[in-house]
Amino acid sequence: MVSDKTYSESGFTLVELLLVSVIIVVLAGLSVQAYIIHKENAYHAVAMQMMKQARNALEGGKVDSESFPQQVMSAEQTAPGPVIAGDGGQLVPGLVLPESFHVLVRHNPVCADDACIEDAIICRHCKSKRQVQYIRTHKLGEIIHFNAAAGGSC
């Protein structure tokens, strides 16, 4: 005896499930890539802001000639806190580094050659692959590289 039961089509076929899974994977991949780009841009924006703060502090030190050193000064630091120069003083007073940040500041007030570098500031977030470079020379004036490639880690 043959049954006359009819089956209604309910649920999803295997092809439909695979198609939806592929779409979800593609969208997830795109959103992860967008997040990575957004994070890199945020790190770079912090580096640009830090370069501007270092530049303002350096310029302020030049105006206040009593507190600004008249010899070549250089400071390179990755630890959080104020930027300390080689002699233990602050090359850029008021500039405090956050966590995971690298800055190099150099000032040469006795530079006599037109092409020599009077001021140099390089700022980079340690998790970024880009850095901001600010260079001032006597002959060429100010040069700023916003998306300079940065190699290695802090």
More confident residue, 70 or 23: 23
From residue 98, alpha-carbon distances to 3, 44, 66, 125 in Å are 76, 14, 28, 9
Check pLDDT > 70 for residue 80.
yes
Q: What pLDDT, on the 0 to 100 scale, is given for residue 37? A: 92
The listed range with the strongest mean pLDDT (1-15, 63-77, 132-146) is 132-146
Per the structure block, which two tokens stand in for 42? 């945020």
The pLDDT of residue 88 is above 80: no
Cα torsion 40, 43, 45, 51 to 10°: value is -130
| pTM (2 d.p.) | 0.69
Distance, in Å, from the CA atom of 52 to the CA atom of 73, rounded to the nearest integer, reads 19
14-33 per-residue burial string, b: 16 or more CB within 10 A, e: under 16: eeeeeeeeeeeeeeeeeeee
In angstroms, the CA 77 to CA 93 distance is: 14
Q: How confident is the model at residue 108 (pLDDT cuts 50, 70, 90)?
A: confident
pLDDT in tens, 2-38: 556 666 667 889 999 999 999 999 999 999 999 999 9
For range 67-88, the mean pLDDT:
73
C-alpha 136/C-alpha 7 separation (Å) is: 81
43-56 pLDDT, tens digit per residue, is 888 888 888 888 88
pLDDT-derived band of residue 71, with 50, 70 and 90 as boundaries? Answer: low
Looking at residue 6, its pLDDT comes to 64
Report for 21-25, 60-64, 127-131: range of highest mean pLDDT: 21-25
- Is the pLDDT at 113 greater than 90? The verdict is no
Is residue 94 within 8 Å of 126, Cβ to Cβ? no
